């Protein structure tokens, strides 16, 4: 019998969110192939989102939200969980090699927007 592995689905990481779409915001992913639950930074100059990069100095070093669905390519429209939500900490996707202090700082930044990891 063959084994099937289910991939991440849009919003799987959300435990709860505000009524309607108050927790979500439309945005643009600058580039990359990202999965739901990816912690995002926002480039200050363009306002576009990218995977969090703690070593950057362009704004993407600060956690600005969590990607709702899949995104692949350049300048891809996307939905970002930006405020008033609880998310599963074990389903968040972090940059490879992120340090514990940087991860903690990102979680605190998200909590500042009331996106709380449980």
pTM: 0.92
> How is domain 14-117 classified at the architecture level of CATH?
Beta Barrel (2.40)
- Listed as own residue / partner, the contacts of 109-113 with beta carbons closer than 8 Å and 24 or more positions apart are 109/62, 109/63, 109/64, 110/39, 110/63, 110/65, 110/66, 113/64, 113/65, 113/82, 113/83
Interval 60-76: pLDDT, tens = 999 999 999 999 999 99
**Residues 98-117, mean pLDDT to the nearest whole number:** 97
Q: Per-residue pLDDT for 55 more than 90?
A: yes
Interval 94-106: pLDDT, tens = 999 999 999 999 9
């Amino acid at each position: 019998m063959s084994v099937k592995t289910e991939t991440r689905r849009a919003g799987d990481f959300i435990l709860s969110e505000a009524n309607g779409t108050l927790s979500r915001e439309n945005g643009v992913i600058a580039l990359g192939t990202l999965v739901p639950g990816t912690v995002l930074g926002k480039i200050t100059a363009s306002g576009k989102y990218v995977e969090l990069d703690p070593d950057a100095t362009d704004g993407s070093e600060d956690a600005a939200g969590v990607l709702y669905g899949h995104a692949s390519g350049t300048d891809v429209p996307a939905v970002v969980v930006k405020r008033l939500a609880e998310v599963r900490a074990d389903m968040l996707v972090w940059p490879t090699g992120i340090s514990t202090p940087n991860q903690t700082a990102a979680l605190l930044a998200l909590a500042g927007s009331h996106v709380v990891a449980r």
